[in-house]
Structures are given as structure tokens and as C-alpha cells.
């Protein structure tokens, strides 16, 4: 397989295009993590006492875990020890504290967003995307706020929510991902600096996609954002997050938490396109993406869908899941995870069925190229009360070349005999005959691979909002460049 | 100048020499049929002409439109005008049939410096060709060849050929797997594409296809060599006598070779 092998290789060796660094002054807290760091972060954000208390509780829990060396070891990923005292936990661009319009924003930041193609500017608002941009730790601009405000929808930075809607924050914060959930969730609860907050009131259908772009700019800073989305009874919201980070030699930690709450008849659709810096071709540098995302279908007939396209990060460790508590509630997980060069991904979902007639669907598409290692890890739990629960799991792996790996670990726990479970799995290799067929019709080998991979991912892409599906397809093509073999 | 000129072509695959010195000239407007026993090298010749990498040319030369075909990659040969209808068409899950052809057509148009066709320009043409081949519209949005019956796959190959309008079409056993009605429809589709500036190489085992598509020349390929060439009548003679007698006759008349 000479030349198509080469093309696969060329495809995977494309350079990261989002690796520029923005030169802005930033305000940081001293390196390291102690109770004082937490107090300083909380003070800088002028948080109410309940927030500081919550952070401190989380910090103490995390410290005990760290002493006990309880950082999770079970995932199928390998990396050197992380020195948690060598991280800067808070970094914010220096600027006037509150912005009346985008014009007041540091033009350097605006230019960065332009390079990223984020529709922040006025004319692009017409495209129907409201963006809450998180630049390092502080959310710097929120568009569309007024229009959403008329409908009673709150879409703002987490900090602003703490200030303006403390009761909502207090009511829901940590109810889906408690600070005791896991090592990284505890760390996030202690130090998280900002993130997005959404509240959609009863019976309101959010008329546009809400979108956040996360970006890690400052060197040696971890980014710990926290997102909380609440859809009240009968509400609907679709939310998209996209992520990129500049190229750095050292690894950077990203430990985010996302909590979703859907009440009776509510629906939340959460889509992620994750393109953090993956490291270089030798596996140096890149983001450690250790993320806890979970949604709770608290109400009857509620629905939460996760769609993720994970092409970046040196290591990805994330399992967006659903707690299906309300009767007839529905959880969905659609995932594309691509690992190229020396990237490692251990990702999947957890579906916990508590309510009657709850249903979950899992579609996972793993693509490995280069020396990439791709693991699907999924858990479906049907508890005693979940009469009539159903799960469908489909788990497909695609290999490009013969130095990469695909692994599947599905865990199933059924405590109610009426449950119906379906599981399908496949592993395939892109065949030389497929590549040749497309070449014979006029496509270059890398275009052929990109077309085959996109076809493989179609079930997931069609869950994405249209414009993001197009973006995801392009991203996949770029991430694969250098991989034909 | 011939459209295609093959000189003393030797090719190997998997370490075996399969083609052992082929000479063939094809002019624009002509239809050539290649017949021969299983394993004689017919598909190998088709793959070499399509520039499949695994088929290594060890000797000889091929000129296509006067250009060195052996220097081309598969997609370059395709963009220069070579189309092969596969003996075993390949499935591409998740890729829409119409989308695929439009992408291919646009790749070829780009190579030739022509404008890209958007879906609005493309679909009416595609629908028209589908009607010609009596294909249901559902095939537009199904994944390329996935779950198609053997005959449907073959029809889909001809549909692609009709859309891509090659100057040299190579049909590798397009008739096998077709029922009688489908054979007639596919043959009509192929005949509709005969034109003074297009040539075809039709690989087949059966006279019945040639009842519909009358070739200008018939070549018999045995063990990597063309042992006899003739007009359309040769196919009838083959049908009567079989390859074995043709081959032994040829051996008797051929000069002793090294
Ligand atoms: N990849 C390969 N490795 C080894 N041998 C091969 C390979 N591909 C083809 N061959 C051999 O080359 C010879 C010619 O095959 P080819 O497919 O060209 O025959 P054909 O004339 O098209 O036969 P049929 O009428 O059965 O389609 C066969 O003996 C076949 O086994
Ligand atoms: Mg053959």
C-alpha cells in the first residue's frame, strides 16, 4: 500500500492552524494551590460567602484526594505526573471591569476571535449565533443578551450569574456533578474561574443556538471553566461549545465541569467541537482534557442529547452522561473521537436509568490514525425502579494505518428484568480498495480518506446544527491530514 | 494519434507476472471487446490502465491522449478521462450516492479548469441519467453501493460513467450479475454514450452483451497475452469453439516465442 499509505501519513501530519498566541497583558494569581489561592480567586470575583464556602469545601476534599494519591488511574491513557503546585489557577486579561459594547474590548482579543472565525462582530450576529466567549478565565463579551432577555432567557458568564442570579446558582450548582464526584471535578469546584450560565424559563423555546468558544491563551495556566444550563418545564435550548488553544511545548491542564438540568418536558441539546492543541507529531505538548459533563433529566418526558466531535487534545478523558430520573425521559450520546499522531482518548458516556420507560441511545465513532489510541468506555445502568427501560448502543471503530489502536469497554448493569438492551460494535480499516475506488473517480487519496471518514461519522454529524456540521467535517479533514498510509 | 496506445506491456501483482507483453491501439470512436478465460489478466489490464498502485508495470509503455499514462496517479488518469466500471464495485458507507458523483465530477472539472457545479446544476442532469438507466430516485440518497444488489451496483457504475463523461471507458464485466431486462437497459445506456470522441473497452465473457453493444474489434486474452484479434465475428466463433481451441489454434500459428 505504498502511495495510499503515504497519503494517509501526509494527511495526519498537517500542522495545527490555531496555534497563535495573543499578546495581551494578563492578571494572574501566584503559581500554586492553597486555601489562600481559593480565597484570592473568590475575592477577585467579589463572590458571595456561599460560593467561597463551596469552593473551600471542594478544596479540602480535593486536598485529601491528592494526599491519598487518588487521581484516577483506571483510564486507558498514559501521562507523567502533574505537579498541581506548578499551575497558575487564575489568569484574566487586564481590562476595564465591565463592557458596554464590543468596541471596548481589547482589539487584540477581537482579532484573535476573528482568526478563530467566531461570529462575535455585529454583522455576524445576524447569522443567529449568540456567543459567550471565554478568554482564559473571564468571559469577556456576551452578545445577543438583550434579545434573549426579552424572552426571559439568561445567557451570561458564570461570574455574572453568581452576581445577578445567586439563588438560581445556589439552587442548582453541584446538584448534577457534586464536588465529591471525582478528583478533577473537585479541583474544578475549588478553582473554577468562569464559564457559561444558561437559564431558559418555563415554556420558552430558545430561538437560536447558544455558543461559547473556549480558548486557553496564557502559558502555564490551567483552564477550569464551569458551565451550568437549566431548562425549566417545557423549555428547549441548543448549546454549542468549541475549543482551541495555542501551541505550547508543555502540557496544559483543562479540567472543566458541565452540568445540565432538564425539568418536566424540557429538552437540552449540547454539542461540542473540541479542537484543543493535540501536541506535535512526536507527542510533545498538547492539552490534557479531563472533563466531567453530566446532565440530569430531572423531569418527566425530559430529554438531554450530547453530541461531541473530539479531534484535539493530547489526552481526552470525558464521559458526558445522563441521569434519567424523570419517567419517560430520554438520554442521547453521539460521539466522534479522532486520535492521530500520539493522541490518546478515553471517552464515552454513562447512562443511568432511574425512571420508568427511560430510553437511551449511544452512538460512538472512534477513528485512530498514526500512533493514536482510542478507547470507548461506556456504562449503562438500569436501576430497580426503571421498569421498561431501553438502551441502544452502537460502537464503531475505524483504523487508518496499522500503528494505531482501538479499544472498547462497555459496562452494563441491569437490576430490572424488563430492561431491553441492544449492543452493536464493529471495527474496520479503511481499505485500499475504497481509496482506489474514489481515486478512480477523480479524488486525491487524502480527499478519499476524508470522504470515507466523514461517511463513517455521518450518524453523528447529522445530530449537529447545520453550520457546525460543516465545520466539524472540515476539521476532521484537517486533523487527518498526513494520515493516509 | 490513437487515443490509447499500449506497447509491450508487462505487469505483475503479488509477485507474479500477469501481463506478458500486450500491444493494443484504441482510436477515438471505437469499441473494443476483450474476452478470455478466468484469470487471464483482463481485470489486471483494466487496473493498470486505471493506475492502481498494486499492479506494477515492469516493461512497456502506455500513451493516453499522447501523454505518458504510467506517470499518472489514479486520480490524474481519471481526470484525464479514464473511467473504469468496476467488476466488483466498492461500498462507501455514509456517503450519499449523488453527493459522491457530484464531488467526483467537481474534482474532474477543477482539474480541467472548469467551474464547480452546485447541487442545483447537478441534480437535473443526474435525475435525467437515472431515468435513462431506469433507476429509482431512492438511489440518490443511499450510501454509495451499500446494500445494493449485484445488478444495482453495476447500473450505478454506468450511471457514474454517464455523469463523468470519460473519453475512455473501461467496462469490466459490467454484464455479469445483470438480469435480461437490466442487461438491455445498461447496454442502451452504454450505446447512448458511444460517440466519435469516446472509446470503450468492454471486458466480457458473453456474446449476449455484444448482441447489444456491437464491438469494432474483439481481442482474446489468454495467459497475459492477446492471442487473437478480429471483428465482431470473433466473439461468435469463441462462443462456438470455446477458448481452448482458439488458444491452441493460436499457439500453432504463433511464432515460437522466447
Ligand atoms: N493482488 C493479487 N495478488 C496475487 N495475484 C493476483 C492479485 N490480483 C490478481 N491476481 C492474479 O492475477 C491473475 C489475473 O487476474 P485477473 O483478475 O486479471 O483475471 P481476469 O482475466 O479478470 O479473470 P476473471 O474473468 O475471472 O475476472 C489471476 O490468476 C489472479 O489470481
Ligand atoms: Mg476480471
Residue A4 has pLDDT above 60, yes or no: no
User: Is residue A114 scored above 50 in pLDDT?
Assistant: yes
Structure confidence at residue B257 as a pLDDT band (50, 70, 90): very low
Residue A290 has pLDDT above 70, yes or no: yes
Kindly state the cell numbers that stand for A454.
Answer: 466523514
Q: Is the pLDDT of residue A20 over 70?
A: no
Closest residue in B to A428 (Cα–Cα): B93
pLDDT digits (tens, 9 = 90+) for B80-139: 999 999 999 999 999 999 999 999 999 999 999 999 998 889 999 999 999 989 899 999
Report chain B residues whose CB lies below 8 A from the CB of A442.
75, 78-79, 104-105, 107-108, 111, 164
Question: What residues of chain A have any CB closer than 8 angstroms to a CB in chain B?
Answer: 1-4, 431-434, 436-445, 447, 451-452, 454-459
Distance CA B136, CA B156 (A): 11
**Ligand 1: which of B39, B40, B174, B225 to mutate, most ligand atoms within 8 Å of CB?**
B39
**CA B38 – ligand 2 centroid, Å:** 7
- Is the pLDDT confidence value at A396 over 60? yes
Task: Give the pLDDT score at A294.
Answer: 97
Share of residues in chain A with pLDDT > 90 (%): 48
pLDDT score, position A240: 87
Asked if pLDDT for residue A234 goes beyond 80, the answer is yes
B42 Cβ inside 6 Å of ligand 1: yes
Predicted confidence band of residue A156 (pLDDT cuts 50, 70, 90): confident
Residues B237-256: what's their mean pLDDT?
72
User: How many residues are present in chain A?
Assistant: 485
Instruction: Quickly tell me which residue has 444488489 as its cell.
Output: B149
- The whole-angstrom separation of Cα A385 and Cα B220 is 74
- Is the Cβ atom of B15 under 6 angstroms away from ligand 1? no
- What CA dihedral angle connects A320, A325, A328 and A329, to 10 degrees? -30
Q: Which letter, b or e, does each residue of A370-408 get, where b requires 16 or more Cβ atoms within 10 Å of its Cβ? A: bbbbbbbbbbbbbbeebbbbbbbbbbbbbbbbeebbbeb
What's the pLDDT score for residue A231? 98
Q: What pLDDT, in 10s, does the model give residues A411-431?
A: 999 999 999 999 999 999 998
Instruction: Return the pLDDT at A215.
Output: 53
Residue B173 is classified by DSSP as S
Q: How confident is the model at residue A460 (pLDDT cuts 50, 70, 90)?
A: very high
pLDDT given for residue A103 in this prediction: 62
Burial (CB count <10 Å: 0-12, 13-18, 19+), residue A174:
buried
pTM attached to this predicted model: 0.85
Greater confidence (A250 vs B35) lies with B35
Q: What does DSSP say about strands B168-172 and B199-203: parallel, antiparallel, or unpaired? A: parallel
Rounded-to-integer distance, Cα A263 and Cα A261, Å: 7
| Residue B124 forms contact with A (CB below 8 Å) | no
| Mean pLDDT taken over chain A | 83
- Closest ligand (CA of B12): 1
**pLDDT higher than threshold 60 for residue B179:** yes
Query: Using CA atoms, how far apart are residues A233 and A247, in angstroms rounded to an integer?
Result: 43
Chain B residue numbers with beta carbons less than 8 Å from the beta carbon of A451 are 92, 95, 100, 103
Q: Which of A105, A143, A110 is nearest to A126 (CA)?
A: A143
Q: Distance between CA atoms of B161 and B85, rounded to whole angstroms?
A: 7
Pocket of ligand 1 contains residue B47 by CB under 6 Å? no
What is residue B97's predicted lDDT score, i.e. its pLDDT? 95
Instruction: Please tell me the least confidently modeled range out of A14-28, A308-322, B2-16, B195-209.
Output: A14-28
How far is A16 from A21, CA to CA, in rounded Å?
13
What average pLDDT score do residues A328-338 get? 96
Per-residue pLDDT at B78: 98
Contact between A324 and A352 under an 8 Å Cβ cutoff? The reply is yes
Q: Is A256 helix (H, G, I), strand (E, B) or coil?
A: coil
Q: Looking at ligand 1, which residue's alpha carbon is closest to its atom 4? A: B14
Q: How far is the CA of A446 from the centre of ligand 2 (A)?
A: 28
The Cβ of residue B248 has, within 10 Å, a number of other Cβ atoms equal to 11
Q: All 3 cell numbers of residue B146?
A: 451499500
pLDDT at A485 over 80: no
Per-residue pLDDT averaged across A128-147, rounded? 58
pLDDT of residue A126: 32
Q: Helix, strand, or coil here: B227?
A: strand
Residue A5 confidence class, pLDDT cut points 50, 70, 90: very low
Residue of the CA atom closest to atom 19 of ligand 1: B39
Q: For residues B218 and B231, is the Cβ–Cβ distance under 8 A? A: yes
* Cβ neighbours of B143 in A, within 8 Å: 455
Question: Residue of the nearest CA to atom 3 in ligand 1?
Answer: B14
Shortest Cα distance, chain B CAs vs residue A29, angstroms: 50
The residue of chain B with its CA nearest to that of A433 is: B90
Average pLDDT over residues A46-56: 94
Residue with cell 496517479: B73
Amino acid at each position: 500500500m505504498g502511495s495510499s499509505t503515504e497519503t494517509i501519513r501526509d494527511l495526519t501530519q498537517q500542522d495545527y492552524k490555531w496555534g497563535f498566541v495573543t499578546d495581551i497583558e494578563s492578571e494572574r494569581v501566584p503559581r500554586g494551590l492553597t486555601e489562600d489561592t481559593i480565597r484570592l480567586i473568590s475575592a477577585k470575583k467579589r463572590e458571595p460567602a456561599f460560593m467561597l464556602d463551596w469552593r473551600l469545601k471542594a478544596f479540602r476534599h480535593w486536598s485529601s484526594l491528592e494526599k491519598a494519591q487518588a487521581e484516577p488511574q483506571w483510564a486507558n491513557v498514559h501521562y507523567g505526573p502533574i505537579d498541581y503546585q506548578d499551575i497558575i489557577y487564575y489568569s484574566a486579561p487586564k481590562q476595564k471591569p465591565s463592557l458596554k459594547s464590543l468596541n471596548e474590548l481589547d482589539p487584540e482579543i477581537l482579532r484573535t476571535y476573528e482568526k478563530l472565525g467566531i461570529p462575535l462582530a455585529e454583522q455576524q450576529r445576524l447569522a443567529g449565533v449568540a456567543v459567550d466567549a471565554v478568554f482564559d478565565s473571564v468571559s469577556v463579551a456576551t452578545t445577543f443578551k438583550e434579545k434573549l432577555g426579552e424572552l426571559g432567557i439568561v445567557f451570561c458568564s458564570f461570574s455574572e450569574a453568581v452576581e445577578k442570579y445567586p439563588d438560581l446558582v445556589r439552587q442548582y450548582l453541584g446538584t448534577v456533578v457534586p464536588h465529591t464526584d471525582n478528583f478533577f471535578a473537585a479541583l474544578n469546584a475549588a478553582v473554577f474561574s468562569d464559564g457559561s450560565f444558561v437559564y431558559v424559563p418555563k415554556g420558552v423555546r430558545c430561538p437560536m443556538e447558544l455558543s461559547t468558544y473556549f480558548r486557553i491563551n496564557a502559558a502555564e495556566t490551567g483552564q477550569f471553566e464551569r458551565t451550568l444550563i437549566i431548562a425549566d418545564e417545557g423549555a428547549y435550548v441548543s448549546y454549542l461549545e468549541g475549543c482551541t488553544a495555542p501551541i505550547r511545548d508543555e502540557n496544559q491542564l483543562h479540567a472543566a465541569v458541565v452540568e445540565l438540568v432538564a425539568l418536566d418536558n424540557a429538552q437540552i441539546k449540547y454539542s461540542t467541537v473540541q479542537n484543543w492543541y493535540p501536541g506535535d507529531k512526536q507527542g510533545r505538548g498538547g492539552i490534557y482534557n479531563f472533563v466531567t459533563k453530566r446532565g440530569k433529566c430531572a423531569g418527566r418526558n425530559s430529554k438531554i442529547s450530547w453530541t461531541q466531535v473530539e479531534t484535539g487534545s493530547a489526552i481526552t478523558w470525558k464521559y458526558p452522561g445522563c441521569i434519567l430520573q424523570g419517567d419517560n425521559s430520554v438520554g442521547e450520546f453521539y460521539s466522534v473521537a479522532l486520535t492521530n499522531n500520539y493522541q490518546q482518548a478515553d471517552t464515552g458516556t454513562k447512562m443511568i436509568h432511574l425512571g420508568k420507560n427511560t430510553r437511551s441511545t449511544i452512538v460512538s465513532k472512534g477513528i485512530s490514525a498514526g500512533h493514536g489510541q482510542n478507547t470507548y468506555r461506556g456504562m449503562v445502568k438500569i436501576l430497580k425502579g426503571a421498569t421498561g427501560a431501553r438502551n441502544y448502543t452502537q460502537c464503531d471503530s475505524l483504523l487508518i494505518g496499522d500503528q494505531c489502536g482501538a479499544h472498547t469497554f462497555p459496562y452494563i448493569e441491569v437490576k430490572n428484568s424488563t430492561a431491553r438492551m441492544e449492543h452493536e460494535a464493529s471495527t474496520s480499516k479503511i481499505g485500499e480498495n475504497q481509496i482506489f475506488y474514489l481515486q478512480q473517480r477523480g479524488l486525491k487519496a487524502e480527499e478519499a480518506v476524508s470522504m470515507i471518514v466523514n461517511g463513517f461519522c455521518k450518524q453523528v454529524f447529522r445530530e449537529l446544527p447545520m453550520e457546525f456540521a460543516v465545520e466539524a467535517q472540515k476539521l476532521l479533514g484537517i486533523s487527518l491530514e498526513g494520515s493516509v498510509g | 494519434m490513437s487515443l490509447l496506445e499500449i506497447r509491450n506491456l508487462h505487469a505483475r501483482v503479488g509477485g507474479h507476472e500477469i501481463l506478458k507483453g500486450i500491444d493494443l491501439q484504441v482510436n477515438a470512436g471505437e469499441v473494443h471487446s476483450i474476452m478470455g478465460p478466468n484469470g487471464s489478466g483482463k481485470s489486471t489490464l483494466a487496473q493498470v490502465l486505471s493506475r492502481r498502485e498494486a499492479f506494477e508495470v515492469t516493461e512497456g509503455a502506455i500513451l493516453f491522449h499522447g501523454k505518458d499514462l504510467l506517470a499518472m496517479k489514479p486520480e490524474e488518469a481519471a481526470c484525464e478521462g479514464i473511467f473504469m466500471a468496476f467488476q466488483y464495485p466498492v461500498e462507501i458507507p455514509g456517503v450519499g450516492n449523488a453527493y459522491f458523483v457530484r464531488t467526483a465530477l467537481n474534482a474532474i472539472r477543477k482539474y480541467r479548469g472548469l467551474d464547480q457545479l452546485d447541487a442545483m446544476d447537478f441534480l437535473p442532469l443526474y435525475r435525467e441519467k437515472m431515468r435513462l438507466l431506469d433507476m429509482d430516485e431512492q438511489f440518490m440518497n443511499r450510501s454509495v453501493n451499500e446494500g445494493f444488489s449485484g445488478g444495482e451496483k453495476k447500473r450505478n457504475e454506468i450511471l457514474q460513467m454517464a455523469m463523468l463523461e470519460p473519453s475512455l471507458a473501461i467496462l469490466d464485466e459490467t454484464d455479469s450479475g445483470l438480469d435480461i431486462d437490466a442487461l438491455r437497459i445498461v447496454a442502451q445506456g452504454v450505446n447512448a454514450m458511444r460517440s466519435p470522441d469516446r472509446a470503450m473497452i468492454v471486458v466480457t465473457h458473453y456474446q449476449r452483451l455484444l448482441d447489444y453493444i456491437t464491438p469494432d474489434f474483439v481481442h482474446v486474452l489468454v495467459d497475459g497475452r492477446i492471442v487473437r484479434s478480429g471483428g465482431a465475428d470473433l466473439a461468435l466463433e469463441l462462443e462456438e469453439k470455446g477458448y481452448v481451441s482458439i488458444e491452441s489454434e493460436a499457439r500453432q500459428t504463433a511464432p515460437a516465442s522466447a
